[in-house]
Structure 1
């Protein structure tokens, strides 16, 4: 039996889960549509919170770390905030308040959603375009509980994972603790080439949020494994740090044929194959499913990053074109063993989907990728 999804126009669930060892403060910003009841809140380790958004919602979710707020949540808990700059959080701060009304400060890992597009489809992605602070995963809640009009789409087509923190990287083949919705029948294909050392050192020296002290001559050698990196090592994207047109794909570089991946983008793509790494990374980073379901965003999943788009090219193309996966394609998804890749093979593989993305405009034209 093929899996078929049909649109539903009611409110959609948006669940936020914290699998980090520490308390975080998720932030949520709405670009358009019916927003959730709150834009930010405290979430202790192991806890989750269920919200709802409109079927027309377009927005982003991120995690804020090392936060301290006053009792009212209207400012930082300490005088002057972090480093005297008015920030309440170490990463992802949104003006020093709990209930965010603006996007978090870079560097920050993002989950981005457009639930209703002109094509009648839902677009979503994990984005490292603004940098990286903590691991993140997206689980498609398709179908919604109790909604018989929606039939399930296999989770190994819909649930991307990005783990760029070495302490949370699992053994090869491991999704234990990822909370990614994977199962024995439909296992999510994982990135299997990177080592713990690779993940610990993927961020270029000059883009680290808290870079180690420079050597005596004031110049970073790259790479240099003799210099110890911080355990918690958020990473600016080249665009977020330097704001150059060549890194941000603006001005003369506002063209996919001109703007190319930086060292940061290439490293990010190796560690997290299914994540956006720069502005024109649409074809290897965008998930497109029929409108109608909700989502769960998990912070600090454990295991390995997913490699869905590269492995299941045919099935994703069929899902995008028709809204379902045929019986023959479905059989190809069942019980597939973990696929190993070398990090380079996935880039530029989805040429067949170019026309599908263009039918609704680029992600930037939708206001979906860069706000």
Structure 2
């Protein structure tokens, strides 16, 4: 009887996944890629009233890729946590992007700013997916979002892969525990709590809340990312029928400029390592057309690899279901 129960416990999730796939409930996947020279712990927060994703937080080592299937009409946000560790009591925490759960899973908690955010609403108005990368809550790690298989004039790569930690003004900078380097960059709203910077009170409309010198610093480095609350026109993107969104932390540094120091994955800040190859290449705020290619972004072979991985994973699930059913039949 125990063996029967064990087999059924394995079979039911497979059957559920198959049912959701064929019924169209699972519509899109998110593929996470860590190209940083340090470990990143992605955090996930689903919007209220939508089915959650199967995880709310996990670890992603340098060079690792992880794919998550999303239900139709899912909405929420992703971010990367850095400099994470457990204390002697087993409590998990991160220097940047911490969600305060005390565990790797964020379990419904959001990121403590400053944190770079990727925000999604799948199957929204007009059946389109809406997405953006936001620096409204500050910046902690480079992030790029690349839609795969979608269509539309605004269906294009967005993100922020410049080194804003290295370029961060001292009044916004979050320092490492040892005080030697900047590990995150606050928004002006968080740093000064002023209605002018927070787009609140008398500044609570698009007409009254304008870019500041601080938000313009973010915008110049990352022209497609949200730099303040009403930065919609150049920062919101839409896709029809995208099969996957690839979320990449950091970018591949050029071979000739790849840092030779700081290779230890426990060294979580790359502000010094990548400063020579990140921000200057992205200082193209005048180039906001949909053909802009991000330096260090995906090439075609990487996109094809991500697509093949998605197909192979689907085939693997179906094959696993068939094997599980066959094994179950042998018990009766």
TM band (smaller chain): 0.5 to 0.7
Shift of 1:43: 1.0
Alpha-carbon distance in structure 2 between the residues aligned to 1:246 and 1:264: 12
Secondary structure of the corresponding residue to residue 36 of structure 2:
coil
- One of 86, 92, 116 as aligned partner of 2:123: 116
Q: Deviations over 1:53-72 (max 9, x none)?
A: 11201110000001113xxx
Matches within 5 A, 1:1-371: 10-32=26-48, 33-69=50-86, 77-78=87-88, 88-95=93-100, 96-100=102-106, 101-143=108-150, 158-165=156-163, 200-201=166-167, 203-210=168-175, 230-302=180-252, 304-305=281-282, 310-312=287-289
Gaps of 5+ in 2: 1-23, 254-280, 296-332
Compared CA separation, residues 58 and 253, structure 1 to 2 (3 A): same
Q: Which moved more, 1:40-49 or 1:300-309?
A: 300-309
Alpha-carbon distance in structure 2 between the residues aligned to 1:230 and 1:265: 25
Secondary structure of the corresponding residue to residue 288 of structure 1:
strand
Shift of 1:231: 4.4
Alpha-carbon distance in structure 2 between the residues aligned to 1:54 and 1:309: 37
Larger radius of gyration: 2
Work out the number of aligned pairs and report it.
Answer: 242
Secondary structure of the corresponding residue to residue 261 of structure 1:
coil
Shift of 1:164: 2.8
1:160–1:308 contact (8 Å) kept in structure 2 = no
1:14–1:294 contact (8 Å) kept in structure 2 = yes
Secondary structure of the corresponding residue to residue 240 of structure 1:
helix
Alpha-carbon distance in structure 2 between the residues aligned to 1:241 and 1:113: 26
Q: Deviations over 1:116-173 (max 9, x none)?
A: 2233221111100000001000010225xxxxxxxx669x95112312327xxxxxxx
Alpha-carbon distance in structure 2 between the residues aligned to 1:260 and 1:113: 24
Alpha-carbon distance in structure 1 between the residues aligned to 2:156 and 2:245: 10
Shift of 1:293: 3.2
Secondary structure of the corresponding residue to residue 171 of structure 2:
helix
Alpha-carbon distance in structure 1 between the residues aligned to 2:202 and 2:293: 44
Output the aligned Cα RMSD. Answer: 3.1
1:161–1:305 contact (8 Å) kept in structure 2 = no
2:53–2:70 contact (8 Å) kept in structure 1 = yes
Alpha-carbon distance in structure 1 between the residues aligned to 2:110 and 2:177: 27
Secondary structure of the corresponding residue to residue 85 of structure 2:
coil
- 1:73 paired residue number: none
Alpha-carbon distance in structure 2 between the residues aligned to 1:164 and 1:290: 28
Larger fraction in strand: 2
Compared CA separation, residues 308 and 286, structure 1 to 2 (3 A): farther
Alpha-carbon distance in structure 1 between the residues aligned to 2:176 and 2:54: 37
Compared CA separation, residues 121 and 262, structure 1 to 2 (3 A): same
Alpha-carbon distance in structure 2 between the residues aligned to 1:130 and 1:273: 16
Shift of 1:338: 9.3
TM-score (norm 1): 0.58
